[in-house]
Structures are given as C-alpha cells and as structure tokens.
Chains A and B, each alone.
Chain A
Amino acid sequence: MGYTITEKILARVSNQEHVKAGDEVMAKPDFVMAYDFPGYTDLYFKQMKEDFGIERVAEPERFAMFIDHMVPAATPKEEELHIGTRKWCAENDVPLFERKGIGHQVASEVGYAVPGAFVVHFDGHISQLGTFGTLAMGIRRNLLEALVNERISIKVPHTVRVNLTGTLGKGVMARDVFHHLVREMGPASCRFQVLEVGGPALSQLSTEGLQTITGLAMFTGAITAVVNPDDARLAYALPRARKQLEPVYSDPDAEYAKVYDIDLSKLEPLIVIPPTPANSRNLTEYLGLELTNGYLGSCASGRIEDLEIAARILQGKQVAPGFQLNVVPTSNEIMVAAGRAGYLATLTEAGAFVSAPSCDYCFGRMGAMSAKQRAVSTGTLNVRGRMGSPDSEIYLCSAATVAASALEGKIADPRKYL
C-alpha cells in the first residue's frame, strides 16, 4: 500500500521512514509563520519570554512574521502592536514581511511554498500553500508549541481525495468550484482530514484558482489541502524556494478515506448565503436580490484572474448608483501586475474604490457595513458581523459575480457580461 503526499511529508519531518494516517508523531515544521494580531503574537512573544525563558529563537530562518492586518494602522494602539512585532523580529533575526500584501499569498511569493515542506501557522487559510505541494496547517493557539519547541505533536491525518474532470464553463470560476465541493461533499466531509485535490482537470486550473480552492479548505472541515504539484506549480515555486527539498507525490495506490469525482463541466456559478459558509446555493436562485456593497479581495480571491475578469465585466461601464465596490488586490506583486495590465484603471474608471493590499476589508475593519446593508463578497467568510454590523448580510461568490452584481446593484449572473 502506498503513501499520500501528506504521509510522506510528515514522515520526513518526524525522522521516520514511513508514517500512516492515525499515527501520532512529533514533527519539526520547516517553517513557522504568523501575522501580528492583538492577543495572538503579542501574547506569544510575552509567553515565550516569561513562561519559557526564550530570549531568542534558534534557527530564525525557520520563522516568518507578516504584518498584513491593521495596515495601515488607524490608531496609536494598532501601531504599537506593529512596533512590538518589528522589534521582536529584529531582535530574533526573524524575517518580517510588512506592507507586501496578505501574508498567505506573500508567503508563496517570497519562497515559503516549498514543495514537500511542512508549514504551520495559527490561521487555517495558510492551507493555500498546498497548491505547490506544501503541507501547510493552521493549528490555532498550538502554534505556541512550534514557537517554543523544535517539534510539535501531530496526529497524521487521513486524506480525502477529490478528482476533478472536465472543463469549467464561461463565467464559472475556482471560487464556484470550491463552494460546489462544500455543497456536494458537505461542510464536515473532510473533518480532521486533508483535502487532496487532483485529477485530469487539475492542469487546466490556474495556479491562482487552485490557491482559492486550497485556501478555503477549512470550510469542508479539512485541516489543510494539498495538491501533487505539476510542472506549472513547480515552475512558480522552485525558483523562489527558501529551502531545497525534493518534491513528493502521493503514490498511485495511496490509501484515501474517501474519493470524490467532480465534473467541472457541470458546474454553474454559485452563491453562499449567510450566515455560514456551509450554505452554497445556485446563483440563479438569488438573482435580483438588492445589494449595497461589494468586496473583491482577500487571501482567497483578489488575484490577477479575479481582477482581470472583473475589469472585463466592468470595462466602459459604471457601478450602479449607491453601490459601494471595494477592490483590494491580494498582494503588492499582484497590484503592480494588475496596474501594468490596466485592470486597476478600468476598475477605478468604473467607480470601484481600489485599495492597497490588506486583510482589513475581509473582517470589516475597513469598508464596514451598517445594519441592513447587504454585500456580495469574495472574502473568506459570511458569518454574522464579519464585515461590520451583525445585522448586515454577506453573500460569498466569485469575482465575476461581484463585478456583474456591482453593475446592477443586485445579485447578477456574470455570464451575460462575458
């Protein structure tokens, strides 16, 4: 019986020849990362010093910090948090990435998405590094274990395999694919397991689209998502890689907890209705619902293909009167590329408010909604109060659907504009 990519990576970092799902191991993450957030990193830094006597981390190159929330700072207190993070990174010689964009995306750009590597973060959306064959897990407060100890305790997870076949239709995006997976498989289908995405259609999906799918994996209950990296993903990741590792792949006879086959040709645009990411619905059931806001951005969606399709839909047109459209490229690298391609100018001319990369629109620190407002959003989540008032509503969908809806001020089908 063969091994999954997950079992192979966890065997290497646990110094064992083989491990199988269900084994409990002590694993040394190749990289340990976090973003600064009140009550998280500031507390960790304090605990490391006061509870564990750690003045400086060993192997600082294994750690990375990102300042991507509260950017730019709006209060002296927020800036104090960033000052603390800068100081800790400088004292520990730990790389710090600030004002470069949303950390989960920047991590790939600056070489932490090493095929075959094991990465931990407290935030689960780090799973998007799985696009490049990296096993990246959000372990919540247990990140402290990775900060104070060389190794962390982990139970080798089982894997659920999804085989994608067929071709996506016009106006159907990776975002729709993910929400379809939640509907088809269920929001608990991959609980405590790894979502491994593969199949013949994988090579047709853009790297960006795959980042969207892997980045949202937690809403299937998965602890991360991973892909056996093909030439296109390796061509992106290997020249940037901060560590030399041999990429690993699942064996053809690897054991899976369950296997799903998804035909992309049959998919239509979806919309996820509030108040939970479990609520995937056909977009066509909600057409015409009045809207006040739109958000195109986040670590899930806000990459070039998202900005491109939105620009194509909005080209030469205007956002509906009274509708507020916030567009936030996921990283500086993406913002520059979108600027050079003319997408940002097109979106701005159409009436979008284009903002520099930041996490803040996704959780309502910026562009916050008031009671009774309703948004379409490519953010990660639609729980109550995520983007402002608990009495506002968030409908999650693709960038194309956000753009089409911005034109009409109502939930709209992007296919008629493409």
Chain B
Amino acid sequence: MALENLRGRVAFIFEEVNFDVDQIVGVKNIKITDIDELADAAMQSYDPDFRTSVRPGDLIIGADNFGYGHPHYPPMRAMRHIGITGVLAESFSPGYWRGEISMGFPQATCPGILGLVERWDEIEVDWTANEVRNLTKGTSLAIEPLSKADRAMLDAGGLIGYLQNQRQSAT
C-alpha cells in the first residue's frame, strides 16, 4: 500500500513547545488498554467535545519538539481511533517520531506550520511535492522530505509490513 496524500481539517493545534503527548489522555489513563475507553479519555482537558467534533481524516498540529519527554503509545492509538490520520509539527522529538512512524502513523516536519493554519482549516499534505497546502486560505509551505526508511515504513503501513517487504526483497 502506498502512502496517500493526507487531507482533512486541523482538528487541534498544540502550541506548547516540548509537548508531552501523554497529556492527550492524561497520565492517569495511560495504562487503559480498551481503545474506546482510551478514546473517551483523550483530549478531555483540552476540548471535551473533541471526539464528536473530529471527522475521519482530520489532522493535528504541533509546535517545536513535539513528543518530548517519555512518550507512550496509547495517546496516539486513541487519536487514530477517533479518526486523526496524521501530525504536522514545527519539529519532533526523535523517540516519539520513531515510535509513531513504526506504527505506520504519518507525520511530517513542517517549520512554520503554526503560522500557516488555524483550527478547522482544511489542509492537504502532498508527499510527492513535499508540501502542505492550506486549502481554506490558499497558502502552502514545504515539509521536510521523509528519509527513505521512514517513507518505506509509512508506505508499508508500519514496521511489520516494512520488515516483511525487506525480507521478501532480500530473498
């Protein structure tokens, strides 16, 4: 499966630098394994109506060093379950980035993104042109190209598919 362009609305903008993604579900909920329960907990301290406001395909926006700290996987599991299909941020923390890319979750580094979008703008991430377009405002900005390995990981839908592809091409 190839990586399709992302198109959706800006469901939320995290303006906090060094944002700790665990706050999305709250640390006290981090060990919840039931995905519906986890999704119910998500974003409660930011926007209690988030779950019902999001449409499948929506994206979220982050500031510099998004994912700093000791990120766990449940927050983004919850966000995916709600319908979020990707993250654009000014920059990402490496551990978080690597963890989510291995889950097959599209993310792009986009310096200047906070100035490009407002909440609920319609945007599109074009992986071929390496740019994000604000369809509401008619503006655009370059995204940093993915490394070959990260791109292959997303194309394969995550780590398992990626490794299976690698092993097939090696034989």
Do A and B pair up? The answer is yes
Using CB atoms and an 8 Å cutoff, list the residues of chain A in contact with chain B.
24, 47, 51-52, 124, 138-142, 144-145, 148-149, 153-155, 187-188, 191-192, 218, 221-223, 275-278, 381, 383-386, 390
Residues of chain A within 8 A (CB-CB) of B103 are 141
Interface size on B, residues (CB 8 A): 32
A126 vs B145: C-alpha distance in the bound complex, in angstroms?
29
Q: Is the interface of A mostly helix, strand, loop or mixed?
A: loop
Q: Which of B69, B99, B167 has the most CB of A within 10 A?
A: B69
Instruction: State whether B98 touches A142 (Cβ < 8 A).
Output: yes
Taking CB atoms, residues of chain A closer than 8 Å to B65 are 187-188, 191, 221
Question: Is there an interface contact between B159 and A145, defined as CB atoms closer than 8 Å?
Answer: yes
Is residue B44 within 8 Å, beta carbon to beta carbon, of the partner chain? no
Q: How far is the CB of B54 from chain A (nearest CB, A)?
A: 25
- Would B159 and A144 count as touching, CB distance under 8 A? yes
B68→A221 contact, CB < 8 A:
yes
Q: Within 8 Å CB of B167, what residues of A? A: 52, 148-149
Give which listed residue, B30, B94, B163, contacts A52 with CB less than 8 A. Answer: B163
A300 to chain B, nearest CB (A): 13
Residues of chain B with a CB closer than 8 A to A385's CB: 27-28, 30
User: Can you list 14 A-B contacts (CB < 8 A)?
Assistant: A51-B160, A138-B95, A142-B98, A142-B102, A145-B166, A188-B91, A191-B91, A221-B65, A278-B68, A381-B69, A383-B22, A383-B70, A385-B28, A386-B70
B126 within 8 A of A: no
Q: Is B20 positioned at the interface, with any CB of A under 8 Å from its CB? A: yes
Query: Given A187-B65, A187-B68, do A140 and B102 touch, yes or no (CB 8 Å)?
Result: yes
> Within 8 Å CB of B95, what residues of A?
124, 138, 140, 218
B130 lies within 8 A of chain A by Cβ: no
* Bound CA span A275–B68, Å: 11
Contact A390 B69 (CB under 8 A): no
In the complex, the answer to whether B159 meets A141 with C-beta atoms within 8 Å is yes
Tell me the chain B residues, 86-143 only, with Cβ under 8 Å from chain A.
91-95, 98-99, 102-103
Chain A positions within 8 Å of B149 at CB level: 24, 153-155
Contacts of A138 in B (CB 8 A): 95
B20 contacts A383, C-beta separation under 8 Å: yes
Question: Interface residues, chain B, CB within 8 Å of chain A?
Answer: 18, 20, 22, 26-28, 30, 64-65, 68-70, 91-95, 98-99, 102-103, 147-149, 152, 159-160, 163-164, 166-167, 170
Identity of the chain B residue whose Cβ is nearest the Cβ of A222 in the assembled complex: B94
Which A residue sits closest to B158, measured CB to CB? A141
Give the one of A124, A140, A154, A223 with max B CB within 10 A.
Answer: A140
In whole angstroms, what is the CA distance A384 to B93 when docked? 18
Q: Is the CB of A144 within 8 A of B26?
A: no
Given that A51-B160, A390-B26 are contacting pairs, would A149 and B20 also be in contact in the complex, using a CB cutoff of 8 Å?
no
Chain B hits for A153, CB < 8 A: 148-149, 152
In the assembled complex, the Cα of A275 lies from the Cα of B99 at a distance in Å of: 22
New A-B pairs, 15, CB < 8 Å, besides A144-B163, A191-B92, A277-B69: A24-B147, A24-B148, A51-B164, A142-B98, A145-B159, A155-B149, A191-B65, A191-B93, A223-B94, A276-B69, A278-B68, A383-B20, A383-B22, A383-B27, A390-B27
Q: In the complex, what residues of A have CB within 8 A of residue B93's CB?
A: 188, 191, 221
CB distance B94 to A47 under 8 Å?
A: no
Give every chain A residue within 8 A of B27 (Cβ-Cβ). Answer: 383-385, 390
Which residue on chain A has the smallest CB distance to residue B99? A140
A149→B94 contact, CB < 8 A: no
B163 touching A139, Cβ below 8 Å: no
CB-CB < 8 A to A154: which residues of B?
Answer: 149
Q: With A and B bound together, what is the CA distance between A155 and B149 in angstroms?
A: 8
A221 near B94 with CB under 8 A, answer yes
A188 and B68 contact, Cβ closer than 8 Å, known pairs A140-B98, A218-B95: yes
Residues of B within 8 A of A24 (CB): 147-149
